[in-house]
Amino acid sequence: MISRAFRLAGIGLLLASGCARRDTPQAAAVRAQTLLLGNGAEPEDLDPQVVTAYTDQNILLALFEGLTAIDEKSSQAVPAAAESWEVSADGLAWTFHLREGLRWSNGERLTADDFVRSWRRMLLPAFAAEYAYLLYPIRNAEGFNQGRVSDPSALGIAAPDPRTVRIELARPIPYMPVLVALPPWYPVNPRVLERFGATAKRGTAWTRPGNLVGNGAFTLEEWMPNSRIVVARNENYWNAGAVTLRQIVFFPTESPDTEERDFRAGQLHVTYSLPISKIAAYRRDAPDRLRVDPFLQTYFLRFNVRRAPFDDPRIRRALSLAIDRDAIARSVLSSGNPPAHSFTPPDCGGYTARARVDRDVALARSLLEEAGHPGGKEMPPIEVQVRNDGVQPAVMEAIQAMWSRDLGVHVTLATLEQKTWLQNQQTLDYAASTAGWAGDFLDPVTFLDLFVTGGGNNWTGWGDGAYDQLIQDAAAQSDPRARLELFQKAESVLLEQAPVAPLYYGAHAYLIQPSVKGWTPALLGYHRYAFVRLGD
């Protein structure tokens, strides 16, 4: 890892060299319109069709743009690359009209066919994109992605002319304009992919500085692993004249304590997070620098059901029932995170789960005894993998004590950096792990379709035919009330089978300098950097 001293020295080189000695990098950056932004983790990739981590997507929001974007205040779709759209009377055909004169960052013309070719790549079976299922509403997309349909021309996507994108659906999707705003729907330049052999291959050099071509408000200027990612204003962006920021520097600092110290030293404008132990002090002494925004997210424990003892649903459910979520929210967390008694956050697109998981130690003990482990007898120690973010270890230590005291179950914690923590979950190289899921849009399906059998982001190994059918029936249901009722039944199955144990809901606590303008609280966590500026 590059030393911290070298990293901070590098910031100074990014800014105007004529700054007075008394200036902090943050102050100089205000004049240079360079936003210094904490990002929480080193990105795994900058290919929008590959990344799964929210921290990676933060950077993609600067480099790429979909047909639409998500408005921070309303969580609804607003025009982006497309200036307008309409839907057919039966809800099965959406037509998006691109802005005139769209360009890639290398100056090439951006056409409707670039979107179509990008989505075909996303659905290639050989590409194995985890988020491919977000494109399944497209007619024949699921069959194509799973190898049952071989002809890409059978997909319900077309470019009738260079400025028109037509999407034909397998079923009506009322939230389609929001869906196409998400990173898996971003266009990727097909000619650049071909040059780097990346059309059906991951991990190529096309996402490196000097190679990456995007269509967002910024371009990739520098990527120093474990140090910084620098993006600069894209002069070929359709709305470049309205973009005030000249640069954004993303710092992949995993330690909230380090971020907080850098903020106090004037090295950051916005942190990714804040140590929970510091929230009360900032509330008292510097409330103008503390932000606690609502965030559509659930933190939970993920169980690998292909490993003993978690192949037994009685053990999974027992462990979930023994967690005192209210005590964790009250005593461990300081940012107002509500306890999660269901997987889907309340009031999510008009849906609040009726099924709940509440603390019931007596039932938990009974289930463990039924599974052959009365009082935790002959239960091997459980290793729980935990991301080293300063919050999850504290939460897991509290659960560790609950399981030991109330169930006789002994737990060891393995604290990992985000990259390893995620890779282990993706490959099922874990027994139990802390996890978090941020909703992609304001609807329960973005939480509940996560666990369909074989789903790209279902990293539990769990599958249940009844659950799959309920999710499938909900997708085909045109009556909104009947659709939500099917989700109620699905959530009940999920909590009963317990491949996951919900812990608490999201609340994003972070620090921000008053000089940052236009940083609007965003329930979905998506910030449009084109509207952010720095000033007094």
Same-domain status, 318 and 245: no
Q: What is the pLDDT of residues 445-475, one digit of tens each?
A: 999 999 999 998 999 999 999 999 999 999 9
Same-domain status, 22 and 156: yes
Whether residue 46 is contained in a domain is answered as yes
Whether residue 212 is contained in a domain is answered as yes
> pLDDT class for 22, splitting at 50, 70, 90?
low
Q: What angle (nearest 5°) sits at the alpha carbon of residue 148, between those of residues 146 and 151?
A: 105
Q: How far apart are the first and last CA of the chain?
A: 35
Q: What is the pLDDT of residues 295-307, one digit of tens each?
A: 999 999 999 999 9
Whether residue 274 is contained in a domain is answered as no
Domain with residue 150: its CATH number is 3.40.190.10
Whether residue 496 is contained in a domain is answered as yes
Domain with residue 434: its CATH number is 3.10.105.10
Same-domain status, 353 and 219: no
Sole residue written with tokens 């790209």: 456
Same-domain status, 240 and 138: yes
Same-domain status, 240 and 310: no
pLDDT for residue 190 is more than 90: yes
User: In DSSP terms, which residues pair with 247 in a beta bridge?
Assistant: 34, 232
Q: What percent of the chain has pLDDT over 70?
A: 96
Closest CA to 108 of 177, 193, 232: 193
Q: What is the pLDDT of residues 73-102, one digit of tens each?
A: 999 999 999 999 999 999 999 999 999 999
Same-domain status, 243 and 302: no
Beta strands in 388-487 (DSSP E): 411-416, 432-438
Same-domain status, 343 and 424: yes
Q: How many CB atoms lie under 10 A from the CB of residue 173? A: 21
User: In DSSP terms, which residues pair with 35 in a beta bridge?
Assistant: 248
Q: Is 70 exposed, middle or buried (0-12, 13-18, 19+ CB in 10 A)?
A: buried
pLDDT for residue 20 is more than 60: no
Domain of residue 176: give its range.
4-253+512-534
In this predicted structure, what is the pLDDT of residue 174? 87
Whether residue 265 is contained in a domain is answered as no
Whether residue 284 is contained in a domain is answered as no
Q: What is the pLDDT of residues 485-498, one digit of tens each?
A: 999 999 999 999 99
Q: Is 249 left (phi over 0), alpha (psi -120 to 50) or beta?
A: beta
Same-domain status, 317 and 460: yes
Same-domain status, 477 and 524: no
Q: What is the pLDDT of residues 400-438, one digit of tens each?
A: 999 999 999 999 999 999 999 999 999 999 999 999 999
Report how far apart, in Å, the C-alpha atoms of 195 and of each of 120, 190, 202, 216 are. 17, 9, 14, 21
Looking at the structure of the chain, the number of domains it has is 2
Whether residue 279 is contained in a domain is answered as no
Same-domain status, 476 and 523: no
**pLDDT, average across residues 210-229:** 97
Same-domain status, 500 and 517: no
pLDDT for residue 8 is more than 60: no
Report d(CA 70, CA 525) in Å as an integer. Answer: 10
φ/ψ of 167, rounded to 5, equals: -120, 120
Same-domain status, 475 and 395: yes
Provide Rg for the chain, Cα atoms: 24
Whether residue 281 is contained in a domain is answered as no
